[in-house]
Structure formats: structure tokens, C-alpha cells
Structure 1
């Protein structure tokens, strides 16, 4: 797209920003309302599948479309992603039961994966790495803005309108984005010399499905050492071995092994994996502190996240401009990751809502400084002919890190909570149930679960129904549960800080090469990349 003028490129970017906002707002708007939607449909036991299926299909389509868009160009996949996402959103709003919603969310996931990945890659087509940094920061800001607007708007809509409108309200924006891409985005010629790697695609998809299902279900639906989980992990390993064998011989591999010979790519993807795994501790479990320990409502809990999103929006936009101006990026990554570690240590010690807001604000600063750097480093280290597969691979590692991080944090939280409860009861800090009758003691024993603190309506109902003489004992029990939950969350946040600290160590080894001022590789560098690719194929 080097033939386009700067004005034409900016016009295309407006279309891409519309597509990015359409995809991101439709994902965030349902986050706060999904539990109530599932409760209306019935089938709460299958709630995790509504989330898991979207994640699975999004991850798979992201990886596969990377190579395909290198062959066929970005425009068909931008258009296809919007259309598939719109169809999935419309059908999801028509869901009559939980199983239909799971099926339609799978369609949504396919469209989301195609659209989000191709949008980021298309920015790389338009601008050289140095100028690209500025626009990547803007795209990150759009996603951050939708993360503020979406959950709040979703909460308002679910309280005042039929839930289907959460999936339908932004469909007109999808039509606008579709028309803008159709009219403004230039068509690229197909690389007819390249063939599609069907067997590699199948092996890669199977490996991802088994791996993500294994980590999603481990410690939750099945024990970590259960035959089901061990079988999924074994199948994933077998799939990876087959993938390597296939890709070594493929003429046009869906996941070129030459990518992993590039130290910048390997370190960047590893850091992205660890950062996403660690940051899940903050994103997923901070509401447990705000709602469970401090007693805020879910709506109030959402407001606690706003400072993080605002600082991330501001910093990602500014950092993009700074990188574009200087051509340097490593110090932003180092400072940003270090600040994220500080914020997670603050979370481990927080004891008030004010401390929670402050720690999330610091977290947003770190995220804004470093989030977009590692995709940029991957794109800058590889030739433009591999831009799609490079961006998709970077996204894959981040998605895997987030999924695996959630599973690990969940297991750590459950085991630590059980241990802390046992210690609290045995140390005398627990509730003495010997002073009440056996029936009341049995009822209170059933409530000895810190997760009960997240269900505030149930707690309020229990407090009104319990006899007056039991109220002090019930209040004592709640204080003990809050203490146990607080100590457990501290362990989770320390684990997150440790993972991000490992990412910081790897970042020191990241080689900084100058950001290119054009979409052409320097002669020697391009020759080396071609040599690596040929060597990988020959082997």
C-alpha cells in the first residue's frame, strides 16, 4: 500500500478504527450482563462454555487468517470478519436456550478473531514500523475506550431493555464499518505462487483446542491429574509434534518454523505470554477484593476499573507518538513492565477501595507504556511478506498466556483458600458454633465459604432472616471470611507479580533494532530472513 498518499492512508485508518470499535464494543458490552442473560435462558451449569467457545474459535481463526491474509490480502478477511461477526451477533440475540447461545457465540468468535487480527495487521500494511507505532497506540486507545463504555452501557441496557438488544444495538455500526472498508480499503493482488497449508492448519487447530480446553477445565470441571485433562494435554503435545513435522515439509506453512529462529520474535512472544498470564491476576481477581472484601456492588466495582482504562488510553496514545518520533521502544517496554510489577505488589497489600483504585491506576500506566510494544517488535523484525502470520502468532501467544494464567490463578486461589480456611478455624480465629443449637450450627457451617461474599443479595436476605441473637455470630463469620479472602487474594497477586517479573527479565534480553521507516526490509536483513525460511522448508 505504499502507493497511497498520506491522506488516503488516514481515510483507510478511519475505516479500520470503525471496524475495531465495532468488534471491541460488542465484546465488552455483554461482559457485565452475561450472568443475568444466562440466568434468564437457564443452563447456568453451561455458563463457562459461553465464554470458552468464543475464546476457542477466536484464537483459532486469528492464527489461521494470519497466513491466509498474507496470501489473499487483508480486504476479503476484513469484510468477511465483519459479516460473520454481525451474523453471529444477530443470531445470538435470537437464542432461545443456552445451547443455541453457545453455537451462535462460536460464530461470533470466528468473526471476532478474523476482524481483530486482520485490523491490526492492516495497520502494518499501511505504515512503516516507525510511523505504525503512533497508529497502533490509537487502536489500543479505541479498545480501551470500549472497555470503559461497554460494561457500563451493558449494565444500563440489561436493566431497561430486552437482553437481545445488547447484541443488536451496534449492528448498524457494523454496516457502516463494512461499507467504509469496502469503499476505502485497497484491494491487494493474490500471491498465486503460495498454496494453503491444510494439514498444518488442522494440526495447529487441534493442538490449540486441546490445550485451551485442558487449561480451561483443569481444577474446575476436572482435577488436574484426571484422565480427561491428562488426555487433552497429551493430545495437544501429539498435535504439536505433528505440526512441526508437517511445517518442516510444507511449501507455505501456516506457522513458519523460521519465525522461532528470530530471537526478537521468540522473546517478544514469550514476554507477551507471561504478561498476559500475569495481568489476568489483576483483571479477573480485583473484583473479588472490591466486592467480596470491601462489599461494593458490581456497578461500583466497574467504576474502580475506569482509572486503569483512562490511564491506559492516554499512555498508549502518547507512547505511540513518542516511539514514532524517536524510533526507540525498549525503554518503554522495560519501564511499563516494571510499573506493572509495582502495581501488582500494591494489590497484594491493598486494604481499602482507595488503595485498589490507586493500584489499578498504576497498572493502567504500566499497561499503556508496554502493551503495544511487543507486537510492534515482532512486525519490525520480519519481512512484510510475513506480516499477517507474525501478527497472528503474537496474538496467539497472548491469548494462550491469558487462558493458561486464568487456569493457574484459579487453582492457586482454590487451594490457598482451602488452606487459609483450615488455618483460620484451627487457630481459634474462626467462629465458635458450640454456643448455638445444632440446626443453626449446621446452617452456618454451610455458609463457611468466602465465595459467598460475592453474592451480596443473598447475604442481605440471610441477615434479615436470621434470629437477632445469631446476628453477632453471623457478623463474626463474615469478618473471618473477608480475612481469609483477603489473604488468599494477596497470594494470587504475588503470583501475578512473579510472572510479570519473569517477563521483565526476558525484556532485558530483547534486542532493539531501529524501527524501519519503510515497509521494505534492509537488503542483508531481508536476505537472512529468506535464507532462514528456505532452510526451514528444506529441513
Structure 2
């Protein structure tokens, strides 16, 4: 597709970015609105399933579509992804109860996974590795923009409109993206010599599903050592062993193991795993600090995280331009990691809204290049015929890193809060609930749950409605809870910084191959060509 005119390539990329924005903003807009939607539909105990099912289906779709798009081309899959996502979004708006919403969110997740997998790979089809730099930066900017607009728009819709418009408002954008890709995106003939790895796809799915469920539920729904969690991990191991056996025997594996003989691919995937595991601390737990510890409302809390997305947008665009101009990426990746670590350490010490904003800015400046570099690196390190499957492998490792990181950080937060309560009790600052009647103990226990801090109006109402003689006690418990939450979040941010430090060290060992100026694996520089040929794994 390098033979297409530059004007047509740009038109196709505009359509792809519209599809990406459509999928991304539908996810960010839901995050703010979901608590209100659940309150209307009921079923708060199934709240996590609305998020979990989306993550599961999108991850599975991303991996499975990677190899299939290498065989059939990107066009049918990105069109399918848009249609499936639109159907899921429309059905979500018709949900009468929480169970319908969960099912339809699963459909949405399938569409999102297909869109994400094919969109990033399509850049590789359209442009040489050198040119991809600026486009990868722009694609990352699409995520940043959706993260800025989505939360504010979601809050506005549920406050001023019917909740189903959260899912329906951007459906016209999906139609526009579909028509543009249908008309502009060229067809690619199927490689008839390649077969589909059905058994490998099945057991890859059976590996991913219990693994993600185990890390999603461990420490919250079930104990880490519970029978349910151990059984899920055991099922993951068994399915993984069978999957590896299948992949060594089939002619066209869904995830070629030969990819991981390429040091650049393996190292980039490991760094992507660590990067997502570490950065989720900032994205997931900053609201706990701003709303829970500082007592800032959700609306203004969003303004504090907005600088991170804006600085990420600027940094990703500039880093993309830099890679396109120079063909180099390693120093950029190292700089991104340094800024991420600095931002996370600043979060460890933050004690005010101003410090939180500065932390967000520094973290966003690091996130921009870090998010765009490694996807580009692995595409540059393999043959063009493996773009789909290698891009899917990178997104798989990132999804796993994010899920596992959030689960571990959640456990660390709970442990940190419990530990802080013990320290408060030992110093005489804590409140001994055993001195009260069982009924009173049950009421007071709610004031030791950090969730209560995330709804300040409801918390103030609960304190005001309590007997006057209890006010001082409740205020003391709230102060203790804020102190415990702040302490535990500090542990999480320190853990995130340590993880990112490991990623920084690994980045030093990443071999830099100057970005190719052609998708045919040839450049004007013979030494560069020899280095690229040496880095490319054997084609399966």
C-alpha cells in the first residue's frame, strides 16, 4: 500500500483516527458516567463485571485478529470492528438491567479490540517505519484527547441528559469512519497458502480469560489463596502448556513463537508489560488522592488529571515528529522512562492539588514518547508480513501488564491501609471499635472503608445525621482514614516508580535499528539493511 498517493494515505489515516477516537472516547466517557448508570439500572454488586467483561473481550479480540488480519488484510476487520462496536454501543443504551448492560459491554469490547488491533497495524501497511513515527504520535494523541474530553462529557450527559446518550452520542462518528474506510482503504488479497489456527486460538483464549479473571478478582472478590483464584491460575497454566504445544506443531500459528526469538520484540513486549503495570498507578489511583485525601469533587478532580493528558498529547506529537526526522528512538524511550519515574516519585511525595498537577504534567510528558515508541520498535524489527501478529502481541502484553498491575496495587493499598490503622492504634490515635455495641460497630466500620471518601456530600450527610455526641468520633475516624489512604497511595506510587525503573534499565539493553524508510525492508544504507535483516526472525 506504499504505492498509494500521499493524499489518499492521509485520508485513510483520518478515517482510522476517527474510528480510534470513536472507540476511545466511548470508553473514557463511560468511566465517569457508569456509577450513575448503575444507580439507575441497579445491581451495584455486579459493577466490576461491566468493566471486566469489556477488558476480557477486547483483549481476546486484539490477539486473535492480529494473525487473521495478516492473512485477510486489515480492511474487513476494521470495518467489522466498527460495526460490532456500534451495535454494542447502541444495545448498551437499550439496557433494562445490569445483566443486559454486561452482555452488551462484552459486544462493545469485541469491537474495540478489533479496532485497536487493526488500526495500529494499518499504520504499518500504509507507511514505512520512518514515517510511522509521526503517525504513531498522532494516534497516541487521539487517546489523550479522548481522555481529556470523555470524563467531562460523561459527567455532563448524566447530569443534563438521559444516560443512554453516553453510548449513543458518538454513533454518527462511527458511521462516518465506516464509510470513509469502506471507500478509501484498499483491498488486500488473501494469502491462500496460510491456514487458520483454530485450536491455537481456542487455547490462547482459554489461557487469557482465567488469567485476567484471577487478577481482576484476587484481593477484592476472593482472597489470593482462595480455591477460586488458585483454580483459575491452575486452569491458565494447563491451557498455556497445551497452547505452546499446539503452536510448535501447526503450520500457521495464531501467535508464532518464533517472534520471541527476536530480542527486540521480546524485550519491547516485556517493557510494555512493565510500563502498563507501573503507569496504571497514576491513572487508576490519582482520583483516590484528589477526591479521597484532598476532598476535591469529581468534576474538579478531572481538571487535575487533565494536564497529564494535555502534556501527553504534546509529548507524543513531538516525539513522533522526532522519530520521523531522525529514524532514532532509543534515547527518546529512555527520556520517557526517566520522566515517568520522576512523575511517579513526585506523586509519592505530593500533599496538595498543586503538587498533584505538577506530577501529572511530568508524568504525561514521559507517557507520550513511552506509549508510542515501543509499538513502532517491534513493527520495525519484523518482516512486513508479520505486522498484525507482532502488534497484537505487544497489545496483549500491555493489557496483561495493566490488569496485573492494578490487581497488585489494589492489594498493596488494602494492606497499606490495614497497616496504618495498626500504627494509629499503637500510637493511641486509632479508634477501637470493640468498645461499641455490634450494631454501632457495623455503622462505624463504614468509616474505615476508603470508598466512603469518594463521595464527600454523602459522607458529610452521614456525619450530620449521626447523633451529636458521635460527631467528634466520626471526624476523627475520617481523618484517620484519610491518613491511612494517603499512606497506602504513597506505597503504590513508590511501587510504580520501582517497576518503571526496571523498565528503564531494560530499555538500555534494547537494540536500536534505525527506522526503515521502506516497508520492503530495504534502505539506501547497506549497513542499516544488514542490521535489519539480521534482526528479522524467520517467517513462519
Q: TM-score range by the shorter chain?
A: over 0.9
CA distance in 2, matches of 1:127, 1:59: 26
Query: Which residue number in structure 1 is paired with residue 203 of structure 2?
Result: 203
Q: Deviations over 1:318-367 (max 9, x none)?
A: 11001100011000100111111111111111111111111011100010
Q: Provide the secondary structure at the position in 2 that maps to 1:249.
A: coil
Q: Provide the secondary structure at the position in 2 that maps to 1:236.
A: helix
Query: Which residue number in structure 1 is paired with residue 113 of structure 2?
Result: 113
Contact 2:290/2:296 (<8 A) preserved? yes
CA distance in 2, matches of 1:231, 1:433: 36
Find out whether 1:278 has 2:284 as its counterpart.
no
CA distance in 2, matches of 1:530, 1:466: 69
Q: Where do 1:417-432 residues align within 5 Å? A: 417-431=417-431
CA distance in 2, matches of 1:3, 1:407: 46
Q: Where do 1:350-389 residues align within 5 Å? A: 350-389=350-389
Over 3 Å counting, the alpha-carbon distance change for 1:107 and 1:441 in structure 2 is closer
Contact 1:210/1:232 (<8 A) preserved? yes
CA distance in 2, matches of 1:168, 1:268: 37
Q: Provide the secondary structure at the position in 2 that maps to 1:191.
A: coil
CA distance in 2, matches of 1:513, 1:526: 7
Query: Which residue number in structure 2 is paired with residue 18 of structure 1?
Result: 18
Give 1:472 shift. Answer: 3.0
Contact 1:281/1:493 (<8 A) preserved? yes
Query: Which residue number in structure 2 is paired with residue 537 of structure 1?
Result: none
CA distance in 2, matches of 1:502, 1:306: 27
Give 1:524 shift. Answer: 5.4
Over 3 Å counting, the alpha-carbon distance change for 1:259 and 1:481 in structure 2 is same
Q: Deviations over 1:172-208 (max 9, x none)?
A: 1111111000011111111111110101101111100
Question: Can you give the 5+ residue segments of structure 1 that lack an aligned partner in the other structure?
Answer: 535-539
Give 1:480 shift. Answer: 1.6
Over 3 Å counting, the alpha-carbon distance change for 1:246 and 1:479 in structure 2 is same
Q: Deviations over 1:497-538 (max 9, x none)?
A: 11111111110100001100000124756766787345xxxx
CA distance in 1, matches of 2:508, 2:126: 30
Contact 1:383/1:526 (<8 A) preserved? no
CA distance in 1, matches of 2:42, 2:193: 51
CA distance in 2, matches of 1:209, 1:438: 41
Query: Which residue number in structure 2 is paired with residue 315 of structure 1?
Result: 315
Over 3 Å counting, the alpha-carbon distance change for 1:449 and 1:81 in structure 2 is closer
Give 1:124 shift. Answer: 0.8
Over 3 Å counting, the alpha-carbon distance change for 1:444 and 1:309 in structure 2 is same
Alpha-carbon RMSD: 1.8
Query: Which residue number in structure 2 is paired with residue 39 of structure 1?
Result: 39
TM-score w.r.t. structure 2 length? Answer: 0.96
Query: Which residue number in structure 1 is paired with residue 465 of structure 2?
Result: 465
CA distance in 2, matches of 1:324, 1:434: 65
Contact 2:447/2:478 (<8 A) preserved? no
Give 1:455 shift. Answer: 2.5
Contact 1:383/1:529 (<8 A) preserved? no
Q: Deviations over 1:374-393 (max 9, x none)?
A: 00000000000000001110
Contact 2:137/2:372 (<8 A) preserved? yes
CA distance in 2, matches of 1:446, 1:273: 36
Over 3 Å counting, the alpha-carbon distance change for 1:281 and 1:526 in structure 2 is closer
Give 1:457 shift. Answer: 2.4
TM-score w.r.t. structure 1 length? Answer: 0.96
Query: Which residue number in structure 1 is paired with residue 538 of structure 2?
Result: 532
Pick which of 507-516 and 410-419 moved more.
410-419
CA distance in 2, matches of 1:442, 1:7: 66
Over 3 Å counting, the alpha-carbon distance change for 1:2 and 1:418 in structure 2 is same
Query: Which residue number in structure 1 is paired with residue 132 of structure 2?
Result: 132
Give 1:465 shift. Answer: 1.7
Find out whether 1:145 has 2:145 as its counterpart.
yes
Give 1:17 shift. Answer: 1.4
Query: Which residue number in structure 2 is paired with residue 497 of structure 1?
Result: 497
Give 1:444 shift. Answer: 3.6
Query: Which residue number in structure 2 is paired with residue 343 of structure 1?
Result: 343
Over 3 Å counting, the alpha-carbon distance change for 1:526 and 1:441 in structure 2 is closer
Query: Which residue number in structure 1 is paired with residue 173 of structure 2?
Result: 173
Give 1:458 shift. Answer: 2.3
Contact 2:382/2:535 (<8 A) preserved? yes
Over 3 Å counting, the alpha-carbon distance change for 1:305 and 1:205 in structure 2 is same
CA distance in 1, matches of 2:516, 2:178: 31
Q: Provide the secondary structure at the position in 1 that maps to 2:253.
A: coil
Contact 1:54/1:106 (<8 A) preserved? yes
Pick which of 292-301 and 14-23 moved more.
14-23
Q: Provide the secondary structure at the position in 2 that maps to 1:295.
A: coil
Query: Which residue number in structure 2 is paired with residue 188 of structure 1?
Result: 188
CA distance in 1, matches of 2:247, 2:442: 60
Q: Deviations over 1:18-60 (max 9, x none)?
A: 1111111111111100111011111111111110000000000
Give 1:9 shift. Answer: 1.0
Over 3 Å counting, the alpha-carbon distance change for 1:410 and 1:37 in structure 2 is same
Q: Where do 1:439-450 residues align within 5 Å? A: 443-444=443-444, 446-450=446-450
Contact 1:275/1:401 (<8 A) preserved? yes
Query: Which residue number in structure 1 is paired with residue 512 of structure 2?
Result: 512
Over 3 Å counting, the alpha-carbon distance change for 1:439 and 1:114 in structure 2 is closer
Q: Deviations over 1:430-453 (max 9, x none)?
A: 247899999867744552334322
Give 1:220 shift. Answer: 1.1
Contact 2:207/2:235 (<8 A) preserved? yes
Q: Where do 1:47-126 residues align within 5 Å? A: 47-126=47-126
Contact 2:54/2:105 (<8 A) preserved? yes
Over 3 Å counting, the alpha-carbon distance change for 1:89 and 1:437 in structure 2 is closer
Give 1:473 shift. Answer: 3.0
